Amino acid sequence: MTETAPSAPHFVTVGADARRIAVRTTPGGDGRPGVLWCGGFLSDMLGTKAVELAAWGAAHDRRVVRFDYSGHGESEGAFIEGTISRWAEDALAVFDRETAGPQIVVGSSMGGWIALLLARALAARGDASRLAGLVLIAPAPDFTEELVWKAMTPEIRAEVMAKGVWYRASDYGEPQPFTRALIEDGRSNLVLGAPFAVGCPVRILQGVADDTVPWQHAMKLVSCLAEDDVVVTLVKDGDHRLSRPEDIARILAAVEQIG
C-alpha cells in the first residue's frame, strides 16, 4: 500500500551542498525505543513497508521516523549523483536531528547496508548505545560490488568506466542507473569479508525466492556478525519486496521482539 493523502514532509539540510532531505515523523512516546526507517535503492518512504511501519507506530504510540535519501522520493538532488557515502550521510543526519534515545533501525535492501554503516558511524564516535537493534529486510550490504560489478560482463564494465554510467533494466520501473562514482564509492564502504560487531540484536528477514538479493547473500552477513545476537527468518516463498500482509506481520513482530 501507499498513503493516499500523505501529510507534507518536513526537511533537514544535509552536507556541503545543503541538500534538503524529506522526513516524516509518526509521534510516539511510550518510553520504548523509537524506529528509524532506511529504504532501498530507488525506493521512497511512501512505499508499502514504510507506510505500514508508520501506521503501526501510530497505533502503538511508537515514534517512527522515515525519510527519503537525496535523489529519492520527495528529497532534493539528482538520483544519478548519489553514492553510498552520500546516502549514509543523509541517514546519520536524520538520526541525529530527528531521533532521541535508543532506536531500532529498520533497513530494507540497500537500507540494510545503510543501517550497518550507521551502526559503524555511531560506534566510531562512542554512541553505540543509541542502537536498540537492527531489523534488516533482504539486506544488500556491498551490493554495488558483490551483486552489480561482479555480475557485469567485461563489455558493461568498460561502458561504466568510459561513459560513467550504465542503465540496467528493472522489474520495478525505469531502468536503474549504475554510475562509476557509485561503484567506486561503494568500495570504500564495504562491510562484508571480515567479522565485525554492531553491538545490538539483529533480526534478518530474507525471501528464499528473492532474485534481486539471493538468500545466500544474507548468510554472508550472518557469518560476519559472529559476536551479535542474530536471528534469521527465511521466507520460503518470499520475493525481494517482502510486502505481503504476512511479510509485514513478520517485520513488525521482529521490531516488537527487540523492544
Please identify every residue annotated as catalytic: 109, 210, 240
The residue type found at 68 is D
143 in Cβ contact with 178 (< 8 Å): no
What the block records as the C-alpha cell of 160 is: 561504466
- Closest to 112 measured CA to CA, from 75, 147, 63: 147
Taking a C-beta distance cutoff of 8 angstroms, is the pair 109, 43 a contact?
yes
- Separation between Cα atoms, residue 117 and residue 103, nearest integer Å: 15
Hey, which bits of 39-130 come out as E strands? 64-67, 103-108
Spell out the long-range contacts of 165-169 with Cβ–Cβ below 8 A and sequence spacing 24 or more: 165/80
DSSP state of 144: I
38 has which bridge partners?
107
Question: Which three cell numbers mark 55?
Answer: 501506521
Are 181 and 207 in contact, with CB atoms under 8 Å apart?
no
Residue 247 to residue 82: CA distance in whole angstroms: 29
Q: How far apart are CA 82 and CA 69, in angstroms?
A: 9
Contact 179, 80 (CB under 8 A): yes
